[in-house]
């Protein structure tokens, strides 16, 4: 299999963590594919020109990160989507992906949009979404996050790490001590260390 990849992408990181946690890294070749909405990679088999995208010998290319992670979990029989708490796990993953979406848009606004056309209110509105999601994680999800490994806690760890990587000045830990403590423990997993963004 081939994975269209960029080390800085939090969505790609979800896939990398799943590959590590399910012992499948040897089954995937990484294809460097740094891209933005204005610079798509024509070789990427995702028609939406986003990463991650996974090609496989026995079927069409898979995207997006949620589909790829679920496929890899199924392939390994790893149980990252436990039946008993399936809807909570998927909602937690969606919350993490929403944080990533907003945080990536903030980066694009600063990097891609010409300076005179940048819209600070849009950036702050995106951060508002991130902050609300972080508050929800702190208030309602710590018990789930602290439970057995699943796709929900993997995705949240990747989202929080991305905030540190791209938005260090925002200090997401302030006022969220439980989430900060959980993140510090999860970040020590070998899968998180092996997939650190660069
Ligand atoms: N929902 C998608 C989001 C993927 C995504 O936005 N990836 C970014 C890189 S972090 C990308 O490819 N951006 C290029 C673009 O938006 O055209 C997923 O979960 O895979």
- pLDDT single digits (tens) 33-60: 988 999 999 999 999 999 999 999 999 9
Kindly tell me if the per-residue pLDDT of 129 is higher than 90.
yes
pLDDT of residue 88: 98
pLDDT of residue 154: 98
| Ligand 1 in reach of 155 Cβ (< 6 A) | no
- In tens, the pLDDT along 66-85 reads 999 999 999 999 999 999 99
Which mutation among 44, 48, 50, 64 tests ligand 1's pocket best, with the greatest number of atoms within 8 A of CB? 50
Kindly tell me if the per-residue pLDDT of 123 is higher than 90.
yes
C-beta atoms surrounding 187 within 10 Å: 14
- In tens, the pLDDT along 94-113 reads 999 999 999 999 999 999 99
Report which ligand 1 atom has the smallest distance to the Cα of 35: 14
**For residues 147-161, average pLDDT:** 98
- Bond from prior residue into 64 cis (ω within 30 degrees of 0): yes
Distance (Å, whole) CA 42 – CA 35: 10
User: pTM of whole model > 0.75?
Assistant: yes
| Ligand 1 in reach of 37 Cβ (< 6 A) | yes
| Ligand 1 in reach of 33 Cβ (< 6 A) | no
**For residues 125-144, average pLDDT:** 98
- List CB contacts of 28: < 8 A, sequence separation 6 or more: 1, 2, 3, 19, 54
Distance 162 CA to ligand 1 centre (A): 13
């Amino acid at each position: 299999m081939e994975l269209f990849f960029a080390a800085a992408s939090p969505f790609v990181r979800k896939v990398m963590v799943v590959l590590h946690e399910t012992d499948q890294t040897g089954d995937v070749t990484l294809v460097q594919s740094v891209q933005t909405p204005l610079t798509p990679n024509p070789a990427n088999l995702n028609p939406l020109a986003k990463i991650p995208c996974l090609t496989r010998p026995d079927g069409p290319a898979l995207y997006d990160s949620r589909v790829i992670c679920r496929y890899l979990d199924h392939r390994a029989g790893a149980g990252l989507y436990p039946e008993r708490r399936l809807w909570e796990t998927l909602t937690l993953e969606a919350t993490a992906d929403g944080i990533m979406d907003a945080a990536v848009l903030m980066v694009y606004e600063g990097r891609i949009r010409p300076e005179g056309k940048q819209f600070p209110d849009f950036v702050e509105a995106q951060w508002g979404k991130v902050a609300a999601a972080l508050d929800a994680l702190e208030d309602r999800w710590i018990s789930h996050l602290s439970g057995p490994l699943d796709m929900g806690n993997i995705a949240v760890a990747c989202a929080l790490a991305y905030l540190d990587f791209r938005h260090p000045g925002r200090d997401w830990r302030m006022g969220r001590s439980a989430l900060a403590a959980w993140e510090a423990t999860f970040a020590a997993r070998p899968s998180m260390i092996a997939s650190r963004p660069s």
